[in-house]
Amino acid sequence: MAVTPIWPAGSNVNEQGEITFHGRTAESLLNEFGSPLYVIDTDDVRARAAKFVKSAANAFNNTVTHVSFAGKALLSKEICRIVTESGMLIDTCTMGEMRIALAAGVPGRRLVLHGNNKSDAEIELAITECFAKIVVDEPNEPARIAEIAKRLGKRARVMLRVTSGIHAGGHEFVSTAHEDQKFGVALLPVGADASKLNVLDDLADVTPAGSNARLGESEATPGESAERQLQYDIKYPYDMSHEKVSEGDRKLAEAMTMVADGPALAVLKEIYRHQDVLELVGVHSHIGSNIHDADAFIQAAKRMMLLRKTFYATDAYTLPEVDLGGGYSVAYTDGEDSMDLDTELARLADAVTTVNRALGMPAPVISFEPGRWTVAPTGVTLYRVGTVKPVQLAGTAKDKAGNPVTERVYVSVDGGMSDNIRPALYGSDYTARIANREGSSETKLCRVVGIHCESGDIIVNEVRLPADIQRGDVLAVPVTGAYGRTMASNYNQALIPAVVAVSEQDAHVMIRRQTVDDLLDWDVSE
């Protein structure tokens, strides 16, 4: 039984108050593998990966689902094998991620290439290895991919990343669907009235003729530009000029016309023009990170379905797949919200089914990219406590509850922002617990900090720890399986910790610890 719900499934607390992982004490792991140490419960990774795949399939039971593990969360050859054996593909965004996945034996058809600034070498490798998808991120990219594919004598499978205009995911660095950021191509033209898309929230008044409209250009008189408008094979009573045409049809026509004039559809047309070497497989939407419910996903999905419908109306092409990205939340502290996966995916599936039925479109393949959800709760970072420093304060500082703070204990450990940058980068909240003994019942307000020459080198901003915490204790910080090791650095020339896999079978090094010799070997200056 896990220590608490936010800890790995294989964790426990023994009679001595020690935290264990599949029977191995935290202290024994540090003694064997060194400190600091990333610990990953690989049995839990496997179970969570399989859970997401199953939940997606159950929710979207009227179509096919694909689930890709976002490799940026945590990547090693062992992780690659675990998630693919559990039914996932792997989403990569650099040559390093691509090569690790391929070295793990993952076939190209189970890999995706993402990224806003792909090199020619990355594109060439993805095409050569027959990647499942290359996600186009900007208007000039289709031509680049087409040229490389033609040179290789192959046809590349591509998907367009679209910025839907749905803003979600907390910190601005991880909210990725607004227009003013580096990813994707905007759904709507600049200055468009996005409120016209509200028609997607109620399509009850849309008629079959309205949903089956096609967008074309009317004949223009000499010297005038052609007028783009929805055209109907069936006239009365669905002719847009007729006084009895439904209000739903009018609003849908306005929304589709606006989308048809947007940058995203223009890029889809550009990809389609290269269909001899580019296979257009769908559209992609990623709206943010650590989102607790389906509301924002539903709104983004509706917009992607409208884009899909509009592209069919303009070019008679049915996009096979819609990727709804990642961002499914986990709790980082006890009592924090996390996504109820089955409930929220079911809500999302109902919304997608409803909007497609109203638009007269077949169900697309639905894809997801959970990285954090798959691995974050499976990981714990272990540290050795060094300095324990009580600091007296005047009471002007406040704790989380708003109470004055007159004393804060700074607990310094042998790691810090070099092994977990998220608190400094995003203001992310974590908790901590003494792992080598029970500790006193009396607690003190503590701030867990690292070894670096930065006042912002904070791992846990506020946590109550036993008052008798001392140098040499083992401190465990849970929910660090995602974006810990992968965002680690050598700031102050600190060594990046090892990653140890722990399961019912054994405990072994997954990624070795950096050494001082590594640092010296990399420095080739005289």
- Token look-up 């965002």 returns 487
How would residue 233 be classed by pLDDT, with cut points 50, 70 and 90? Answer: very low
Q: What pLDDT is stored for residue 212 in this prediction?
A: 66
pLDDT in tens, 179-232: 667 789 999 999 999 999 999 999 888 877 666 665 555 555 555 555 555 554
Stretch 48-71: mean pLDDT: 98
Q: What pLDDT is stored for residue 173 in this prediction?
A: 44
Contact predicate 377/48, CB 8 Å: yes
**What are the tokens at 151?**
């040179």
CA distances from 99 to 107, 386, 486 (A): 11, 38, 15
Q: What pLDDT is stored for residue 512 in this prediction?
A: 98
The answer to whether residue 93 is catalytic is: no
Pairing of strands 24-25, 19-21: antiparallel
How would residue 236 be classed by pLDDT, with cut points 50, 70 and 90? Answer: very low
Spatial CA neighbour of 155 closest among 135, 123, 130: 130
Stretch 122-147: mean pLDDT: 97
pLDDT in tens, 97-122: 999 999 999 999 999 999 999 999 99
Q: What pLDDT is stored for residue 214 in this prediction?
A: 55
CA distances from 384 to 36, 230, 467 (A): 7, 67, 17
- Which domains, and CATH codes, for the chain? 1-113+375-526 (2.40.37.10), 117-193+262-370 (3.20.20.10)
Q: What pLDDT is stored for residue 369 in this prediction?
A: 96
Largest CA distance in the chain: 89
Q: What pLDDT is stored for residue 168 in this prediction?
A: 64
How would residue 177 be classed by pLDDT, with cut points 50, 70 and 90? Answer: very low
The whole-model pTM stands at 0.91
Over 60: is that where the pLDDT of 380 sits?
yes
Half-sphere exposure of 35 (CA within 13 A, CB side): 20
Q: What pLDDT is stored for residue 181 in this prediction?
A: 72
Contact predicate 281/158, CB 8 Å: yes
pLDDT in tens, 322-370: 999 999 999 999 999 899 999 999 999 999 999 999 999 999 999 999 9
Q: What pLDDT is stored for residue 88 in this prediction?
A: 98
Q: From the candidates 80, 93, 130, 453, which is the catalytic residue?
A: 453
Q: What pLDDT is stored for residue 376 in this prediction?
A: 98
Over 90: is that where the pLDDT of 93 sits?
yes
Q: What pLDDT is stored for residue 446 in this prediction?
A: 97
pLDDT in tens, 299-318: 999 999 999 999 998 898 99
Q: What pLDDT is stored for residue 192 in this prediction?
A: 93
Over 80: is that where the pLDDT of 502 sits?
yes
What rounded mean pLDDT belongs to the chain? 91
